[in-house]
Structure 1
Amino acid sequence: MNFVRRPVLLLSLILATWMLGACSILPWWEPDVPDQVQRPQGPGNSRWVPTDWSELPGFDDDKLHEAWNAWVRNCALPHPAFAPLCPDIRRLSLAGEAQKRAWIVDNLEPYRVESMQGSAQGLLTAYFEPELEGRRQPEPGFAVPVYRPPHGLERGEAWYSRREMDTNASARASLRGREILYLADPVQAMLLQTQGSGRVRITEPDGTRRLVRLAFAAHNGHPYRSIARWLLDEGEVRDASWAGIQAWAQRNPDQVDALMHRNPRVVFFREEPMDATAAAAGPKGSQGVALTPGRSVAIDPQSIPYGAPIWLVAPAAGLRRLVFAQDSGGAIRGAVRADYFAGWGSEAGEWAGRVRQNLQMWVLWPKAS
């Protein structure tokens, strides 16, 4: 039996020796590993390409002090990769521009964001926080309700559509008593829902007036459909800004409900008080920190993690600056995709309505220790 086993053992040793030798030469014939290796690993739907600071257009010209408050706010709920840097970030709040820029270069590395297909070009849009008038009780001229999340709404499950909320008796019953306040018309309500938050100056039943914020609380689980896109595609308007949509609604009052029903998604809100501190910042984004006008963006969290600093370049919009991934949205999908928070009020709204520009982004990530 031993004589029989020896050739088998010898053959096994020869085979093992050959395999070890083959493994040692594998790199010789394997294709080169490209520079586009994700380092660090992106969240799944984007590719991060390590690059040099010189590739970032306008990096030496940004007014970093304008961005630093947003970065400090990030440190209230930091991404784990950035938590060790937060003491420095807070300490540098009063530092000069050169010192801030040098710290960024010393501690972070830039990665160009690309789609999984290798495209570095994407889309920038913008959003804002509208300022509206409201009433606590319905009255002539203020009859469009804004709702809290209704009873029976379950996260991840589709509830009644917008049309059903207007026509279905069960849906109407579920909404009864969930009214927060009333706005002047359906276009204002759609504007509030599309932007995801708003400032409303309420007139209470006793005549007192106060400013509140309506913040996003939930939605009905249906897909978002743009009424502006439909009006453009049908040739109904050339100006698809909110002012243009409002003008169309005034010309076509009998078609307004049908237009609204083309977007089945409905957003529900919660009311938040507005003191001086809250009024000086935007609403809380998906990260959980207050948004900073001009320095906060909504991104696809499957491509860029919340809290990440981003170098954003959109030349047609005049933007080459440091921003932060602090929010998300139902229409913000893809690797190179951002929705830029413009602030609040009519001026911010007019600017945001014009933004639909080509975009490039670089994630700035902590250097490996």
Structure 2
Amino acid sequence: MSAVLRDFFRAAALAGAAMTASGADAETTYKMLDFSQLDGWEEDNHAAALKVFLETCPDLKDQDWQNLCALAQAQAQTLAQEQGKAGARSFFELFFRPVLIEDGTPGLFTGYFEPELEGSRYRTSRYRYPVYRMPPEAKHSNPWLPRRDILTGPVMQGRGLEIAWVDDPVELFFLQIQGSGRIRLSDGGTIRIGYGGANGHPYRSIGTEMVRRGIYKAHQVSAQVIKAWVRRNPAAGRELLLHNPSYVFFREIRKIRPSKGPVGAMNRSVTTLRTLAVDPKYTPLGAPVWMEKGGETKMHRLMIAQDTGSAIKGAQRADVFYGTGDSAGQAAGRLRDPGRMVVLLPIQRAFALVPDEY
């Protein structure tokens, strides 16, 4: 490849929308790998990963991604059915290269899920905790009011900003952490809600605060432990939740089939155990990502970067989507495992980031 073309592709790689290196510091490193260096690569169900890739690749803007998406769409049936797993695997091996992106921080995988809450369209003696839309003025002020002022002051009262009312303030707090969910209505219906904006204040971990106060040791803290403590200590628990100034607003999602997952950062449904939430400063949204998760239950599989999260910061930091409901929440809440993630990039883009491989 000529120096002119190499410079062009490197510029595209570094300046593309939400591209890997934008905003990354000088410590970020890029290493080209071979597919044979991905532990368990040949055994994975690449056809399942290709199906998820096709959910969001039409939204990718850069030309190299668009070309690969069009090719995958044109050959989807052949790749996924006629040639089976081998066909889909060949697609990724032919048109992508694995790039290990590191920023000096060890890999860490956690989990997230779509909660289900009990609620009503109207306030009742049982359902009295509001799920709010974002006020218009909050969209133009960053930061806006902190959590304490939103929940204890008059600013939200009498404005019709409630999407629904739920029966558990603790589950509502964790719904905000997850960013999307379902509300099962008392009349038998269901409301799906997604992230609608935030007040702009930084997230403060309740678990970290409990450790600082000496309530628990770091290894004891989990979502289930926090919920149980807050319910046992309602007054102190309410005050503890207000320690986090960040507040998430929601919007009602009407056009997604019940069988589909919640809407992620790409405004498309995410997929159980195939979607990762990543830091788009390092990993472009929509990219395939090879995950090697350690821990008690190892998981080596091809994922698609389709979501983000306020706590997901770093080249080797990711959240695994576990699905909907209590069992998914329990599995996601237990996950805190080491490992590594390797981003699959279009060939020219990969070589632009790792010029020593020419």
What is the one-letter code of the residue matched to 2:245? P
Determine which structure has greater relative contact order: mean sequence separation of CA pairs < 8 Å that are 6+ residues apart, divided by chain length: 2
What is the one-letter code of the residue matched to 1:215? G
* C-alpha distance in 2 between matches for 1:291 and 1:172: 31
What is the one-letter code of the residue matched to 1:305? P
Q: Secondary structure at the match of 2:110?
A: strand
Corresponding residue to 2:286 among 307, 312, 325: 307
* C-alpha distance in 1 between matches for 2:232 and 2:203: 25
Q: What residue is the counterpart of 2:153 in the other structure?
A: 168
What is the one-letter code of the residue matched to 2:45? K
What is the one-letter code of the residue matched to 1:134? G
Q: Secondary structure at the match of 1:153?
A: helix
Corresponding residue to 1:141 among 110, 126, 130: 126
Q: Secondary structure at the match of 1:154?
A: helix
Q: Is 1:211–1:273's contact at 8 Å kept on the other side of the alignment?
A: no
| 1:96 equivalenced with 2:84 (yes/no) | yes
| 1:278 equivalenced with 2:261 (yes/no) | no
* C-alpha distance in 1 between matches for 2:232 and 2:137: 37
Taking structure 1 as the reference length, the TM-score comes to 0.81
Q: What residue is the counterpart of 1:342 in the other structure?
A: 322
Per-residue CA deviation, residues 155-195 of structure 1 (Å, 9 max, x unaligned), is 561111111113333x244x732111111121111111000
Corresponding residue to 1:70 among 52, 60, 72: 52
When residues 162 and 187 of structure 1 are mapped into structure 2, their CA distance, relative to the original with a 3 A threshold, is: same
- Give matches, 1:313-328, under 5 Å: 313-316=292-295, 317-328=297-308
Following TM superposition, by how much is the alpha carbon of 1:242 offset from its aligned partner in structure 2, in angstroms? 3.1
Q: Is 1:38–1:48's contact at 8 Å kept on the other side of the alignment?
A: no
Taking structure 2 as the reference length, the TM-score comes to 0.84
Kindly, what percent of the aligned residue pairs are identical? Answer: 36
Q: Is 2:47–2:89's contact at 8 Å kept on the other side of the alignment?
A: no
Corresponding residue to 1:157 among 138, 142, 145: 142
Computing the radius of gyration from Cα coordinates, the structure with the larger value is 1
* C-alpha distance in 1 between matches for 2:140 and 2:284: 22
Following TM superposition, by how much is the alpha carbon of 1:364 offset from its aligned partner in structure 2, in angstroms? 0.8
Q: What residue is the counterpart of 1:13 in the other structure?
A: none
* C-alpha distance in 2 between matches for 1:300 and 1:321: 19
Segments ≥4 residues shifted beyond 6 Å: none
When residues 295 and 144 of structure 1 are mapped into structure 2, their CA distance, relative to the original with a 3 A threshold, is: same
Q: Is 1:295–1:323's contact at 8 Å kept on the other side of the alignment?
A: yes
* C-alpha distance in 1 between matches for 2:167 and 2:145: 23
* C-alpha distance in 1 between matches for 2:225 and 2:159: 32
* C-alpha distance in 2 between matches for 1:344 and 1:161: 29
Q: Secondary structure at the match of 1:157?
A: coil
What is the one-letter code of the residue matched to 1:125? T
What is the one-letter code of the residue matched to 2:102? E
When residues 156 and 111 of structure 1 are mapped into structure 2, their CA distance, relative to the original with a 3 A threshold, is: farther
Q: How many residue pairs align between the two structures?
A: 322
Following TM superposition, by how much is the alpha carbon of 1:78 offset from its aligned partner in structure 2, in angstroms? 2.5
* C-alpha distance in 1 between matches for 2:11 and 2:109: 23
Q: What residue is the counterpart of 2:208 in the other structure?
A: 229
Gapped regions of structure 2 (runs ≥ 5): 1-9, 15-19, 350-358
Q: What residue is the counterpart of 2:237 in the other structure?
A: 256
Corresponding residue to 2:162 among 162, 179, 184: 179
When residues 247 and 199 of structure 1 are mapped into structure 2, their CA distance, relative to the original with a 3 A threshold, is: same
Following TM superposition, by how much is the alpha carbon of 1:219 offset from its aligned partner in structure 2, in angstroms? 0.4
Corresponding residue to 1:108 among 96, 100, 106: 96
